[in-house]
Amino acid sequence: MNKPIELSKRLNRIKQSASVAAKALVDRLRAEGQDIIDFTIGEPDLPTPPNVVEAAVAAMRDGQTRYTAANGTPVLRKTIVEKLARDNGLDYNPENVVVGSGGKNIIFLALSVTLNPGDEVIIHAPYWVSYPDMVVVNDGVPVIVASDASSGFKLSPAQLEAAITPKTKWLILNTPNNPTGAVYSLSELVELGRVLERHPHVWVMSDEIYEHFVYNGATHVSPVSAMPFLQERSLIVNGASKGYSMTGWRLGYGAGPVQLVNAITKLITQTTTCPSAISQAAAVEAFGGPQDAPHYAAKVFQQRGKLMRELLQEAPGFEVGELTGAFYLYPSVAGLIGKTTCTGELLSSDVDVVKYLIEQAKVATLDGSAYGLSPHLRFSFATSEEAIRVGCERIVKACTALR
C-alpha cells in the first residue's frame, strides 16, 4: 500500500477560511434540496457592468490572451495611478503599482516577501478571517488587538501604542471594515498617524477593498491620504472584486514603494507568472471608464443594509449597531447566550447560535469567533431584498421560540 504524502507542518498552522467553508456548507445543503437563505458570502449579487464585460470580450477578440508583464500591463498600471489620484488624492507612478490575482493574493505576497520568523503584525479585531492565518503561514506572529461596539469597533491610538514592539513589522488597517463595516474618519486616522510617526519601523498595509461602500454621511479616507508621511512605508491594497462585482475575475493591486512592489513582482514571476490578461483588460475599463456601477451599487447596498438592520432589530436577543460601511452588519447576540432551544440544547456561544439558525431557520450566517470577537454574527446584505426579508423573518421566528 502506498504511504500517504506527508503534508507540510506549515499547513497545520492555519485553518480553512471560515467564509469559504460556510459557502461550501450552503452549497451542499442546497444540493440536498434544502431551502437555505445565505447571509455568509461577501460577494455582490449585482452583475459585472456590461461595459466591463464588453471590454474583456473585445480584448479576447483582439488576441489579448497571452502572458503579460508579471506586475501587470502598462496601461492597467497607468489607469490605477489615475484612479488613485481621482478617487483618493494620491500621487503614485506606474512603477509603484503591482497587479495580482485578487487583493488577497497581493496581501499574501506582501507578507511573504517581508516577514521573517518572529516578525509581528498588528491586526485589529474584529478582523477579516484571512489576516492572521496569512501572517502565521509566512512565519509571522499576529498581534491581535480587540475593540468592541463601545468604540465603534475601531483601533484607538492608545491600543496601537501599547501593541507596538521592536519586532512589529506591519499594522494592517481595513477601512471600511470587514466584518463590522466600521469606517475611520480623517481625524481618527490622523491620531493613529501620530503614533506611527513615533515608530518609523512600522509599515502600514491599508486594505481598501470596500472603499465605495460608505453610508449615512461617512466618507472613505485612505490612511495614506490622511498620513502622507506614511506613503514611503505603506502598501495600499484594492481591487475590482467588490466595487465592480468582479469577484470571479480575480483582479487586485497594490500601490507602494518601488522596493516592495519589485519584491512582490519577483514572487509573482515564480508563482502565478502574471495576472489574467483578460481580467486586466476588463479592469482598465472598470477603473478608468464610467463610474456609474460602484455608485449605483453603493445606493443599492445602503438600502439593503438599512432594511436588514431594521428587520434584525426585531429579533429577540439581537443588538444591531449603526450602518456605516462595507456590506456587512455585525450584531451582538449576547442576549441569546444561555437560551435553550425547543429540543433542550443550550446556546453557549455564537457558534451555537449559527448552528441553531441554520438548522432551525435555514439561514446561514458566520460566527464572530471567526473574526476575533464574540458573541457576534456577521451578516452580508450583498443579496436580494427578498432574501433579506425572508431570512430575517425566519430569524425573528427562531429567536422568539427560544426559552
| Amino acid sitting at position 86 | R
pLDDT tens per residue, range 20-33:
787 788 888 888 98
Beta-strand ranges (E) seen in 19-67 are 37-38
CA neighbor of 336 nearest in space, from 321, 353, 361: 353
String of b and e for 5-41 (b: at least 16 CB within 10 Å)?
A: eeeeeeeeeeeebbbeebbeebeebeeeeeebbbbbb
Q: Residue 282: which residues within 8 A CB-CB, separation 6 or more?
A: 48, 52, 53, 55, 56, 59, 240, 246, 249, 251
pLDDT digits (tens, 9 = 90+) for 72-106: 999 999 999 999 999 999 999 999 999 999 999 99
Burial pattern 161-171, b for ≥16 Cβ within 10 A else e, equals: eebbeeebbbb
Say if residue 1's pLDDT is above 90: no
CA distance 324 to 10: 37
Which domains are delineated in the chain? 11-47+293-400 (3.90.1150.10), 64-289 (3.40.640.10)
State the pLDDT at residue 344.
93
Residue 113 phi/psi, 5° resolution? -85, -5
Average pLDDT estimate for 178-193: 98
CB count, 10 Å around CB of 158? Answer: 10
Mean pLDDT for 11-22 is 81
Give the pLDDT score at 210. 98
Give the residue-averaged pLDDT of 257-281.
Answer: 98
Work out the pLDDT band at 15, boundaries 50, 70, 90: confident
pLDDT at 11 (0 to 100): 86
State what percent of residues in the chain have pLDDT above 70: 100
Integer Cα distance of 378 and 350 in angstroms: 10
What gap in Å lies between CA 134 and CA 138, rounded to an integer?
A: 6
Q: Is the pLDDT of residue 313 over 90?
A: yes
- Per-residue model confidence (pLDDT) at position 238: 98
Residues 339-377: tens digit of each pLDDT: 999 999 999 999 999 999 999 999 999 999 999 999 999
Distance separating alpha carbons of residues 41 and 217, to the nearest angstrom = 26
What local confidence, expressed as pLDDT, does residue 14 receive?
86
- Cell readout for 24 is 461550501
